[in-house]
Amino acid sequence: MTIPSGNHDDLHLDRATGDAPLGDERVVTPEDRAAAALHNALTPAQTMPAPVRARLLSLADSLSSTDARVTHVAHHMSPRPSRRLAPWLIAAAFVLAGGIGLWAGSRAISSQRELESVRMQLTQARQQVAINESLVAKSKELLERQMGLMDETSRGQVELANQLANATARLRDQETQIAKASVRDKELSEQLNEARLTIAKMNEPVDPATLAQNRTKLLTVPDTIRVAWAPFDLPDAPAEQKGVVKGDVTWNDRLQTGYLRFEGLKPNDPKVEQYQVWVIDERGLEQKVSGGVFNASANGEIIVPITPGIDVGKVALFAVTVEKPGGTWVPDLKRRVVVAPRS
Amino acid sequence: MDPKHILPKVAAGEANALRELVEQYGDLLWSLARRFTRSEADAEEAVQDVLVYLWKKAPKFDPSRGEEVTFVSVVARRRLIDRYRKETRHATPAQLPEEMVEANNGTIRSEEAEIAKTLFESLGEDQKRVLRLSIDRGFTHEVIAAQTGLPLGTVKTNIRRGLAQIREQLIARMGGSR
Protein backbone atom coordinates (compact mmCIF):
# COMPACT_ATOMS: atom_id res chain seq x y z
CA MET A 1 0.00 0.00 0.00
CA THR A 2 1.40 3.31 -1.02
CA ILE A 3 0.51 6.34 0.93
CA PRO A 4 0.64 9.42 -1.20
CA SER A 5 2.27 12.38 0.34
CA GLY A 6 2.91 15.93 -0.60
CA ASN A 7 1.35 19.28 -0.02
CA HIS A 8 -1.85 18.58 -1.91
CA ASP A 9 -2.49 15.40 0.02
CA ASP A 10 -1.66 17.11 3.33
CA LEU A 11 -4.10 19.87 2.53
CA HIS A 12 -6.97 17.41 2.17
CA LEU A 13 -5.91 15.57 5.31
CA ASP A 14 -5.70 18.81 7.29
CA ARG A 15 -9.07 19.91 6.00
CA ALA A 16 -10.57 16.66 7.25
CA THR A 17 -9.45 17.50 10.78
CA GLY A 18 -10.36 21.13 10.50
CA ASP A 19 -6.74 22.19 10.41
CA ALA A 20 -6.92 23.80 7.00
CA PRO A 21 -9.65 26.10 5.67
CA LEU A 22 -12.34 24.22 3.76
CA GLY A 23 -12.05 24.44 0.01
CA ASP A 24 -15.19 23.58 -1.86
CA GLU A 25 -17.56 22.84 0.98
CA ARG A 26 -19.78 20.77 -1.29
CA VAL A 27 -17.09 18.16 -1.87
CA VAL A 28 -16.76 15.25 0.56
CA THR A 29 -13.20 13.96 0.21
CA PRO A 30 -11.85 10.48 1.04
CA GLU A 31 -9.96 12.20 3.87
CA ASP A 32 -13.23 13.52 5.28
CA ARG A 33 -14.54 10.00 5.03
CA ALA A 34 -11.55 8.57 6.92
CA ALA A 35 -11.78 11.19 9.66
CA ALA A 36 -15.54 10.65 10.01
CA ALA A 37 -15.17 6.88 10.13
CA LEU A 38 -12.54 7.14 12.87
CA HIS A 39 -14.62 9.73 14.66
CA ASN A 40 -17.56 7.34 14.70
CA ALA A 41 -15.29 4.56 15.91
CA LEU A 42 -13.99 6.70 18.79
CA THR A 43 -17.26 8.32 19.84
CA PRO A 44 -19.08 6.70 22.76
CA ALA A 45 -22.64 5.89 21.72
CA GLN A 46 -25.19 8.01 23.54
CA THR A 47 -28.96 8.11 23.29
CA MET A 48 -30.54 11.40 22.37
CA PRO A 49 -32.93 12.51 25.16
CA ALA A 50 -36.58 12.10 24.18
CA PRO A 51 -37.51 15.80 24.44
CA VAL A 52 -34.52 16.76 22.30
CA ARG A 53 -35.54 14.12 19.75
CA ALA A 54 -39.16 15.39 19.78
CA ARG A 55 -38.04 18.92 19.05
CA LEU A 56 -35.62 17.72 16.37
CA LEU A 57 -38.44 15.76 14.70
CA SER A 58 -40.60 18.86 14.87
CA LEU A 59 -37.84 20.80 13.12
CA ALA A 60 -37.56 18.01 10.53
CA ASP A 61 -41.30 18.29 9.82
CA SER A 62 -41.04 22.07 9.45
CA LEU A 63 -38.11 21.78 7.06
CA SER A 64 -39.91 19.12 5.01
CA SER A 65 -42.89 21.43 4.55
CA THR A 66 -40.58 24.15 3.22
CA ASP A 67 -39.80 24.38 -0.47
CA ALA A 68 -36.35 22.79 -0.58
CA ARG A 69 -35.45 24.37 -3.90
CA VAL A 70 -35.90 27.88 -2.55
CA THR A 71 -33.72 27.05 0.40
CA HIS A 72 -31.09 25.54 -1.84
CA VAL A 73 -30.99 28.62 -3.97
CA ALA A 74 -30.73 30.75 -0.89
CA HIS A 75 -27.94 28.58 0.38
CA HIS A 76 -26.11 28.67 -2.92
CA MET A 77 -26.16 32.44 -2.81
CA SER A 78 -24.84 32.39 0.73
CA PRO A 79 -22.65 29.31 1.05
CA ARG A 80 -21.68 30.02 4.63
CA PRO A 81 -24.79 31.10 6.50
CA SER A 82 -24.12 33.01 9.64
CA ARG A 83 -24.48 31.13 12.87
CA ARG A 84 -27.10 33.57 14.03
CA LEU A 85 -29.41 32.37 11.25
CA ALA A 86 -29.88 28.90 12.69
CA PRO A 87 -31.68 29.86 15.92
CA TRP A 88 -34.03 32.05 13.86
CA LEU A 89 -34.75 29.20 11.50
CA ILE A 90 -35.43 26.97 14.45
CA ALA A 91 -37.64 29.52 16.18
CA ALA A 92 -39.59 30.10 12.95
CA ALA A 93 -39.86 26.34 12.49
CA PHE A 94 -41.32 26.01 15.97
CA VAL A 95 -43.94 28.63 15.19
CA LEU A 96 -44.79 26.84 11.94
CA ALA A 97 -45.10 23.52 13.69
CA GLY A 98 -48.05 24.99 15.52
CA GLY A 99 -46.50 24.71 18.92
CA ILE A 100 -47.56 21.06 19.33
CA GLY A 101 -45.29 19.69 22.00
CA LEU A 102 -43.31 22.86 21.74
CA TRP A 103 -42.65 23.25 25.37
CA ALA A 104 -43.31 19.66 26.39
CA GLY A 105 -39.72 19.01 27.15
CA SER A 106 -38.59 22.47 27.98
CA ARG A 107 -37.39 21.29 31.38
CA ALA A 108 -34.82 19.22 29.54
CA ILE A 109 -33.02 22.40 28.64
CA SER A 110 -30.80 22.52 31.64
CA SER A 111 -29.58 26.04 31.26
CA GLN A 112 -32.12 28.60 32.38
CA ARG A 113 -30.25 31.16 30.28
CA GLU A 114 -30.69 29.08 27.11
CA LEU A 115 -34.35 28.56 27.90
CA GLU A 116 -34.84 32.30 28.34
CA SER A 117 -32.97 32.94 25.12
CA VAL A 118 -35.13 30.50 23.13
CA ARG A 119 -38.25 31.88 24.78
CA MET A 120 -37.26 35.39 23.85
CA GLN A 121 -36.59 34.37 20.26
CA LEU A 122 -39.95 32.62 20.14
CA THR A 123 -41.66 35.67 21.56
CA GLN A 124 -39.90 37.88 19.04
CA ALA A 125 -40.89 35.53 16.24
CA ARG A 126 -44.50 35.58 17.45
CA GLN A 127 -44.40 39.37 17.68
CA GLN A 128 -43.02 39.52 14.15
CA VAL A 129 -45.82 37.24 12.96
CA ALA A 130 -48.37 39.45 14.72
CA ILE A 131 -46.83 42.57 13.17
CA ASN A 132 -46.84 40.92 9.74
CA GLU A 133 -50.46 39.88 10.14
CA SER A 134 -51.41 43.38 11.18
CA LEU A 135 -49.53 44.81 8.18
CA VAL A 136 -51.30 42.37 5.86
CA ALA A 137 -54.66 43.30 7.37
CA LYS A 138 -53.91 47.01 6.96
CA SER A 139 -52.76 46.48 3.37
CA LYS A 140 -55.93 44.53 2.62
CA GLU A 141 -58.07 47.26 4.12
CA LEU A 142 -56.25 49.92 2.09
CA LEU A 143 -56.55 47.81 -1.05
CA GLU A 144 -60.29 47.34 -0.50
CA ARG A 145 -60.74 51.06 0.10
CA GLN A 146 -58.80 51.86 -3.06
CA MET A 147 -60.84 49.36 -5.04
CA GLY A 148 -64.03 50.89 -3.61
CA LEU A 149 -62.87 54.36 -4.69
CA MET A 150 -61.95 53.09 -8.13
CA ASP A 151 -65.36 51.46 -8.38
CA GLU A 152 -67.09 54.70 -7.45
CA THR A 153 -64.96 56.71 -9.85
CA SER A 154 -65.63 54.36 -12.73
CA ARG A 155 -69.36 54.42 -11.95
CA GLY A 156 -69.24 58.23 -12.05
CA GLN A 157 -67.37 58.13 -15.32
CA VAL A 158 -69.93 55.78 -16.83
CA GLU A 159 -72.75 58.07 -15.71
CA LEU A 160 -71.03 61.14 -17.15
CA ALA A 161 -70.41 59.28 -20.41
CA ASN A 162 -74.10 58.34 -20.56
CA GLN A 163 -75.15 61.92 -19.90
CA LEU A 164 -72.77 63.16 -22.57
CA ALA A 165 -74.13 60.58 -25.03
CA ASN A 166 -77.72 61.63 -24.21
CA ALA A 167 -76.88 65.31 -24.58
CA THR A 168 -75.16 64.65 -27.90
CA ALA A 169 -78.17 62.66 -29.12
CA ARG A 170 -80.50 65.49 -28.07
CA LEU A 171 -78.28 68.04 -29.80
CA ARG A 172 -78.32 65.99 -33.04
CA ASP A 173 -82.09 65.68 -32.72
CA GLN A 174 -82.44 69.40 -32.34
CA GLU A 175 -80.08 70.01 -35.25
CA THR A 176 -82.22 67.71 -37.41
CA GLN A 177 -85.36 69.48 -36.28
CA ILE A 178 -83.78 72.86 -37.00
CA ALA A 179 -82.75 71.66 -40.45
CA LYS A 180 -86.29 70.35 -41.09
CA ALA A 181 -87.77 73.55 -39.74
CA SER A 182 -85.44 75.55 -41.95
CA VAL A 183 -86.53 73.56 -45.03
CA ARG A 184 -90.17 73.96 -43.98
CA ASP A 185 -89.54 77.63 -43.41
CA LYS A 186 -88.17 77.95 -46.94
CA GLU A 187 -91.10 75.99 -48.34
CA LEU A 188 -93.56 78.14 -46.41
CA SER A 189 -91.72 81.23 -47.48
CA GLU A 190 -91.97 80.15 -51.13
CA GLN A 191 -95.61 79.24 -50.68
CA LEU A 192 -96.20 82.61 -49.04
CA ASN A 193 -94.54 84.38 -51.96
CA GLU A 194 -96.64 82.37 -54.42
CA ALA A 195 -99.74 83.13 -52.39
CA ARG A 196 -98.83 86.81 -52.36
CA LEU A 197 -98.36 86.73 -56.12
CA THR A 198 -101.68 84.95 -56.57
CA ILE A 199 -103.36 87.45 -54.29
CA ALA A 200 -101.67 90.26 -56.20
CA LYS A 201 -102.87 88.79 -59.50
CA MET A 202 -106.37 88.27 -58.20
CA ASN A 203 -106.42 91.79 -56.87
CA GLU A 204 -105.19 93.12 -60.20
CA PRO A 205 -105.73 96.81 -59.73
CA VAL A 206 -107.78 98.68 -62.28
CA ASP A 207 -106.14 101.91 -61.42
CA PRO A 208 -104.56 103.10 -64.70
CA ALA A 209 -101.41 104.39 -63.00
CA THR A 210 -100.78 100.97 -61.38
CA LEU A 211 -101.50 99.19 -64.67
CA ALA A 212 -98.96 101.44 -66.36
CA GLN A 213 -96.43 100.65 -63.67
CA ASN A 214 -97.02 96.91 -63.98
CA ARG A 215 -96.66 97.07 -67.73
CA THR A 216 -93.33 98.90 -67.35
CA LYS A 217 -92.22 96.20 -64.89
CA LEU A 218 -93.17 93.45 -67.34
CA LEU A 219 -91.04 95.12 -69.97
CA THR A 220 -87.98 94.60 -67.74
CA VAL A 221 -88.67 90.83 -67.50
CA PRO A 222 -86.55 88.81 -69.94
CA ASP A 223 -88.32 87.31 -72.99
CA THR A 224 -91.09 89.88 -72.79
CA ILE A 225 -92.05 90.94 -76.30
CA ARG A 226 -93.46 94.23 -77.37
CA VAL A 227 -95.41 94.46 -80.63
CA ALA A 228 -96.92 97.64 -82.10
CA TRP A 229 -100.53 97.72 -83.27
CA ALA A 230 -101.12 97.63 -86.98
CA PRO A 231 -104.44 98.26 -88.80
CA PHE A 232 -106.24 95.28 -90.22
CA ASP A 233 -105.15 94.93 -93.77
CA LEU A 234 -108.53 93.62 -94.85
CA PRO A 235 -110.08 95.73 -97.57
CA ASP A 236 -113.51 95.97 -95.89
CA ALA A 237 -112.14 97.44 -92.72
CA PRO A 238 -114.06 100.43 -91.39
CA ALA A 239 -112.45 103.54 -92.61
CA GLU A 240 -112.62 105.23 -89.21
CA GLN A 241 -110.33 102.61 -87.74
CA LYS A 242 -107.62 102.90 -90.34
CA GLY A 243 -104.43 104.54 -89.06
CA VAL A 244 -106.17 106.01 -86.05
CA VAL A 245 -105.36 103.48 -83.31
CA LYS A 246 -101.83 103.45 -82.05
CA GLY A 247 -100.13 101.55 -79.19
CA ASP A 248 -98.65 98.13 -78.60
CA VAL A 249 -98.89 94.74 -76.88
CA THR A 250 -96.46 93.58 -74.26
CA TRP A 251 -96.51 89.84 -73.63
CA ASN A 252 -94.50 87.17 -71.83
CA ASP A 253 -95.08 83.57 -72.95
CA ARG A 254 -93.63 82.12 -69.76
CA LEU A 255 -95.75 84.28 -67.44
CA GLN A 256 -98.81 84.13 -69.74
CA THR A 257 -99.29 87.75 -68.90
CA GLY A 258 -99.47 90.84 -70.99
CA TYR A 259 -100.82 94.36 -71.41
CA LEU A 260 -102.54 96.13 -74.29
CA ARG A 261 -101.89 99.80 -74.68
CA PHE A 262 -104.03 101.94 -76.92
CA GLU A 263 -104.03 105.53 -78.01
CA GLY A 264 -106.95 106.91 -80.00
CA LEU A 265 -109.27 103.96 -79.47
CA LYS A 266 -112.86 105.14 -79.83
CA PRO A 267 -114.85 104.98 -76.55
CA ASN A 268 -117.63 102.35 -76.72
CA ASP A 269 -121.02 101.97 -75.08
CA PRO A 270 -120.72 98.82 -72.92
CA LYS A 271 -124.47 98.27 -73.25
CA VAL A 272 -124.21 98.01 -77.03
CA GLU A 273 -120.82 96.62 -77.69
CA GLN A 274 -117.46 95.84 -76.09
CA TYR A 275 -113.94 95.39 -77.28
CA GLN A 276 -112.57 91.84 -77.06
CA VAL A 277 -108.92 90.85 -77.30
CA TRP A 278 -107.87 87.63 -78.97
CA VAL A 279 -104.67 85.71 -78.46
CA ILE A 280 -103.77 83.56 -81.42
CA ASP A 281 -100.88 81.11 -81.13
CA GLU A 282 -98.48 80.02 -83.83
CA ARG A 283 -100.70 77.11 -84.96
CA GLY A 284 -102.97 79.55 -86.81
CA LEU A 285 -106.11 81.59 -86.69
CA GLU A 286 -108.26 78.64 -85.74
CA GLN A 287 -106.50 78.53 -82.40
CA LYS A 288 -107.76 81.80 -80.96
CA VAL A 289 -108.35 82.30 -77.30
CA SER A 290 -110.25 85.16 -75.74
CA GLY A 291 -107.98 87.45 -73.79
CA GLY A 292 -110.97 89.12 -72.15
CA VAL A 293 -113.30 92.01 -72.89
CA PHE A 294 -112.72 95.65 -72.13
CA ASN A 295 -114.11 99.10 -72.62
CA ALA A 296 -112.58 102.27 -73.92
CA SER A 297 -113.99 105.01 -71.79
CA ALA A 298 -111.60 107.84 -72.53
CA ASN A 299 -109.94 109.08 -75.64
CA GLY A 300 -106.49 109.10 -74.01
CA GLU A 301 -104.08 106.21 -73.32
CA ILE A 302 -105.72 102.95 -72.22
CA ILE A 303 -103.88 100.04 -70.68
CA VAL A 304 -105.74 96.73 -70.52
CA PRO A 305 -104.41 93.58 -68.86
CA ILE A 306 -104.69 90.39 -70.97
CA THR A 307 -106.20 87.51 -68.99
CA PRO A 308 -106.50 84.44 -71.24
CA GLY A 309 -108.99 81.78 -70.08
CA ILE A 310 -106.60 78.97 -70.94
CA ASP A 311 -102.88 78.48 -71.58
CA VAL A 312 -102.18 79.85 -75.04
CA GLY A 313 -98.67 78.50 -75.68
CA LYS A 314 -96.43 80.58 -77.95
CA VAL A 315 -98.40 83.61 -79.14
CA ALA A 316 -98.30 84.50 -82.82
CA LEU A 317 -100.85 87.28 -83.05
CA PHE A 318 -102.95 89.57 -80.95
CA ALA A 319 -106.17 90.93 -82.31
CA VAL A 320 -108.86 93.28 -80.99
CA THR A 321 -112.42 93.03 -82.26
CA VAL A 322 -115.69 94.72 -81.43
CA GLU A 323 -118.24 92.27 -80.10
CA LYS A 324 -121.59 92.26 -78.31
CA PRO A 325 -121.49 93.07 -74.57
CA GLY A 326 -119.76 90.31 -72.61
CA GLY A 327 -117.87 89.16 -75.65
CA THR A 328 -118.27 86.04 -77.72
CA TRP A 329 -116.68 82.59 -77.83
CA VAL A 330 -116.58 82.47 -81.59
CA PRO A 331 -115.68 85.86 -83.13
CA ASP A 332 -116.64 86.55 -86.72
CA LEU A 333 -113.69 88.93 -86.90
CA LYS A 334 -115.90 91.17 -89.08
CA ARG A 335 -115.48 94.20 -86.87
CA ARG A 336 -111.77 93.96 -86.37
CA VAL A 337 -110.01 96.91 -84.87
CA VAL A 338 -106.26 96.24 -84.74
CA VAL A 339 -103.84 93.36 -84.90
CA ALA A 340 -100.33 92.92 -83.60
CA PRO A 341 -98.53 90.09 -85.34
CA ARG A 342 -95.49 88.71 -83.69
CA SER A 343 -92.48 89.19 -85.82
CA MET B 1 -31.65 4.02 -5.20
CA ASP B 2 -30.81 1.75 -2.30
CA PRO B 3 -33.95 1.74 -0.11
CA LYS B 4 -31.83 1.75 3.02
CA HIS B 5 -30.37 5.12 2.05
CA ILE B 6 -32.33 8.01 3.50
CA LEU B 7 -30.41 11.02 2.17
CA PRO B 8 -31.50 10.55 -1.48
CA LYS B 9 -35.11 10.58 -0.26
CA VAL B 10 -34.41 13.78 1.70
CA ALA B 11 -32.86 15.27 -1.44
CA ALA B 12 -35.94 14.27 -3.43
CA GLY B 13 -38.14 16.08 -0.91
CA GLU B 14 -39.99 12.93 0.10
CA ALA B 15 -42.40 13.39 3.00
CA ASN B 16 -41.12 12.04 6.30
CA ALA B 17 -37.63 11.39 4.87
CA LEU B 18 -36.04 13.98 7.15
CA ARG B 19 -37.99 12.54 10.08
CA GLU B 20 -36.59 9.13 9.16
CA LEU B 21 -33.11 10.65 9.09
CA VAL B 22 -33.60 11.92 12.66
CA GLU B 23 -34.83 8.51 13.80
CA GLN B 24 -31.87 6.75 12.15
CA TYR B 25 -29.02 9.13 12.95
CA GLY B 26 -30.33 11.10 15.95
CA ASP B 27 -28.19 9.19 18.40
CA LEU B 28 -25.09 9.52 16.19
CA LEU B 29 -25.59 13.27 15.93
CA TRP B 30 -26.23 13.52 19.65
CA SER B 31 -23.15 11.47 20.47
CA LEU B 32 -20.91 13.58 18.24
CA ALA B 33 -22.44 16.83 19.46
CA ARG B 34 -22.16 15.92 23.11
CA ARG B 35 -18.38 15.46 22.71
CA PHE B 36 -18.04 18.96 21.22
CA THR B 37 -20.32 20.88 23.60
CA ARG B 38 -20.36 21.68 27.30
CA SER B 39 -24.11 21.45 27.92
CA GLU B 40 -27.12 19.57 26.62
CA ALA B 41 -28.64 22.88 25.56
CA ASP B 42 -25.55 23.62 23.48
CA ALA B 43 -25.69 20.10 22.08
CA GLU B 44 -29.35 20.49 21.14
CA GLU B 45 -28.70 23.76 19.35
CA ALA B 46 -25.74 22.13 17.58
CA VAL B 47 -27.80 19.12 16.53
CA GLN B 48 -30.58 21.31 15.16
CA ASP B 49 -27.97 23.32 13.28
CA VAL B 50 -26.51 20.10 11.85
CA LEU B 51 -29.95 18.83 10.79
CA VAL B 52 -30.58 21.98 8.75
CA TYR B 53 -27.13 21.57 7.23
CA LEU B 54 -27.77 17.88 6.42
CA TRP B 55 -31.07 18.79 4.81
CA LYS B 56 -29.22 21.16 2.46
CA LYS B 57 -26.28 18.79 1.83
CA ALA B 58 -28.38 15.67 1.19
CA PRO B 59 -28.07 15.91 -2.66
CA LYS B 60 -24.29 15.65 -2.31
CA PHE B 61 -24.39 12.13 -0.85
CA ASP B 62 -22.75 9.62 -3.23
CA PRO B 63 -23.16 5.95 -2.06
CA SER B 64 -20.17 4.90 -4.18
CA ARG B 65 -17.87 7.07 -2.08
CA GLY B 66 -18.74 5.77 1.37
CA GLU B 67 -21.42 4.77 3.82
CA GLU B 68 -24.35 7.06 4.53
CA VAL B 69 -23.53 7.05 8.23
CA THR B 70 -20.01 8.26 7.42
CA PHE B 71 -21.39 11.02 5.19
CA VAL B 72 -23.71 12.14 8.00
CA SER B 73 -20.74 12.17 10.29
CA VAL B 74 -18.65 14.20 7.81
CA VAL B 75 -21.36 16.85 7.58
CA ALA B 76 -21.89 16.87 11.33
CA ARG B 77 -18.15 17.12 11.98
CA ARG B 78 -17.79 20.16 9.79
CA ARG B 79 -20.49 22.02 11.69
CA LEU B 80 -19.39 20.80 15.10
CA ILE B 81 -15.72 21.61 14.57
CA ASP B 82 -16.65 25.01 13.22
CA ARG B 83 -18.78 25.79 16.29
CA TYR B 84 -16.28 24.32 18.67
CA ARG B 85 -13.29 26.17 17.22
CA LYS B 86 -15.10 29.49 17.48
CA GLU B 87 -16.05 28.85 21.09
CA THR B 88 -12.56 27.75 22.14
CA ARG B 89 -10.65 30.20 20.01
CA HIS B 90 -9.25 32.03 23.00
CA ALA B 91 -9.06 29.04 25.36
CA THR B 92 -5.66 27.85 26.67
CA PRO B 93 -4.71 24.18 26.43
CA ALA B 94 -5.15 23.91 30.18
CA GLN B 95 -8.78 24.82 29.76
CA LEU B 96 -9.26 21.96 27.30
CA PRO B 97 -8.59 18.77 29.28
CA GLU B 98 -8.00 15.60 27.32
CA GLU B 99 -10.93 13.92 29.07
CA MET B 100 -10.55 10.41 27.78
CA VAL B 101 -14.07 9.07 28.01
CA GLU B 102 -14.45 5.35 28.15
CA ALA B 103 -17.09 4.06 25.81
CA ASN B 104 -19.07 1.99 28.31
CA ASN B 105 -21.93 1.46 25.93
CA GLY B 106 -19.63 0.89 22.97
CA THR B 107 -19.09 3.25 20.05
CA ILE B 108 -21.09 4.09 16.97
CA ARG B 109 -21.28 0.97 14.82
CA SER B 110 -20.73 0.81 11.09
CA GLU B 111 -18.53 -1.19 8.72
CA GLU B 112 -16.36 1.80 7.95
CA ALA B 113 -16.09 2.60 11.65
CA GLU B 114 -14.96 -0.95 12.31
CA ILE B 115 -12.28 -0.70 9.61
CA ALA B 116 -11.12 2.63 11.02
CA LYS B 117 -11.15 1.24 14.56
CA THR B 118 -9.10 -1.80 13.57
CA LEU B 119 -6.47 0.29 11.86
CA PHE B 120 -6.48 2.80 14.73
CA GLU B 121 -5.78 0.04 17.24
CA SER B 122 -2.77 -1.08 15.20
CA LEU B 123 -1.08 2.31 15.62
CA GLY B 124 1.46 3.30 18.23
CA GLU B 125 0.33 4.97 21.47
CA ASP B 126 1.60 8.45 20.56
CA GLN B 127 -0.08 8.36 17.20
CA LYS B 128 -3.30 7.07 18.72
CA ARG B 129 -3.22 9.87 21.29
CA VAL B 130 -2.80 12.70 18.81
CA LEU B 131 -5.40 11.20 16.46
CA ARG B 132 -7.88 10.88 19.30
CA LEU B 133 -7.27 14.50 20.36
CA SER B 134 -7.68 15.68 16.80
CA ILE B 135 -10.69 13.58 15.77
CA ASP B 136 -12.54 12.90 19.01
CA ARG B 137 -11.86 16.24 20.70
CA GLY B 138 -11.48 18.49 17.74
CA PHE B 139 -8.26 20.05 18.98
CA THR B 140 -6.07 21.88 16.50
CA HIS B 141 -2.60 20.68 15.68
CA GLU B 142 -1.18 23.53 17.74
CA VAL B 143 -3.31 22.75 20.78
CA ILE B 144 -2.38 19.08 20.54
CA ALA B 145 1.34 19.97 20.31
CA ALA B 146 1.02 22.17 23.40
CA GLN B 147 -1.04 19.55 25.19
CA THR B 148 1.25 16.62 24.45
CA GLY B 149 4.58 18.41 24.32
CA LEU B 150 5.27 16.79 20.96
CA PRO B 151 6.76 18.90 18.17
CA LEU B 152 4.11 20.37 15.91
CA GLY B 153 5.60 18.64 12.88
CA THR B 154 5.37 15.27 14.61
CA VAL B 155 1.77 15.94 15.55
CA LYS B 156 0.92 16.86 11.98
CA THR B 157 2.73 13.88 10.49
CA ASN B 158 1.17 11.41 12.91
CA ILE B 159 -2.32 12.66 12.30
CA ARG B 160 -1.93 12.87 8.53
CA ARG B 161 -0.31 9.46 8.26
CA GLY B 162 -2.95 7.80 10.44
CA LEU B 163 -5.80 9.32 8.46
CA ALA B 164 -4.16 8.45 5.14
CA GLN B 165 -3.87 4.82 6.23
CA ILE B 166 -7.52 4.68 7.19
CA ARG B 167 -8.41 6.33 3.88
CA GLU B 168 -6.57 3.70 1.90
CA GLN B 169 -8.12 0.89 3.91
CA LEU B 170 -11.62 2.26 3.38
CA ILE B 171 -11.09 2.59 -0.36
CA ALA B 172 -9.54 -0.85 -0.60
CA ARG B 173 -12.26 -2.61 1.36
CA MET B 174 -15.37 -0.48 0.88
CA GLY B 175 -14.83 1.05 -2.54
CA GLY B 176 -14.57 4.60 -3.69
CA SER B 177 -11.60 6.52 -4.98
CA ARG B 178 -9.28 9.27 -3.93
- Over the stretch A310-335, which tens digit does the pLDDT of each residue have? 777 778 888 888 888 877 777 666 67
Share of chain B above pLDDT 90, in %: 46
- For A179-227, the three-class secondary structure string (H helix, E strand, C coil) is HHHHHHHHHHHHHHHHHHHHHHHHCCCCCHHHHHHHHHHHHHCCCCEEE
pLDDT digits (tens, 9 = 90+) for A227-286: 888 766 555 555 555 567 788 889 888 888 888 888 888 888 888 888 888 888 777 666
Contacts of A4 in chain B (CB under 8 A): 164, 178
Q: Nearest chain B residue to A85 by CA: give it.
A: B49
Q: Which of these, B177, B171, B174, B140, lies nearest to B155 by C-alpha position?
A: B140
Residue B141 has pLDDT above 60, yes or no: yes
Average pLDDT estimate for A54-78? 63
Provide the total of helices (H) and of strands (E) in chain B, helices listed first.
8, 0
Minimal C-alpha gap between A152 and chain B (Å): 49
| Phi and psi at residue A228, to the nearest 5° | -80, 150
Contact B113 A40 (CB under 8 A): yes
In whole angstroms, what is the distance from residue B83 CA to residue B71 CA?
A: 19
Band (pLDDT 50/70/90 cuts) for residue A157 is: confident
Burial A83-105 (b: 16+ CB within 10 A, else e): eeebeebbbbbbbbbeeeeeeeb
Instruction: Give the three-class secondary structure for A301.
Output: strand
Identify the pLDDT of residue B166: 93
Contact B55 A18 (CB under 8 A): no
Q: Of how many residues is chain A composed?
A: 343
Identify the pLDDT of residue A104: 44
Q: What was the ipTM of the complex prediction? A: 0.90
Identify the pLDDT of residue A255: 81
Contacts of B155 in chain A (CB under 8 A): none
Contacts of A57 in chain B (CB under 8 A): 19, 22-23
pLDDT digits (tens, 9 = 90+) for A174-223: 999 999 999 988 888 877 776 665 565 555 546 778 888 888 888 888 88
Band (pLDDT 50/70/90 cuts) for residue A64 is: confident
Q: pTM for this one?
A: 0.47
CB neighbours of A91 closer than 8 A, spacing ≥ 6? A118, A121, A122, A124, A125
Band (pLDDT 50/70/90 cuts) for residue B33 is: very high
Contact A46 B27 (CB under 8 A): yes
Among A16, A34, A72, whose Cβ lies nearest the Cβ of B170?
Answer: A34
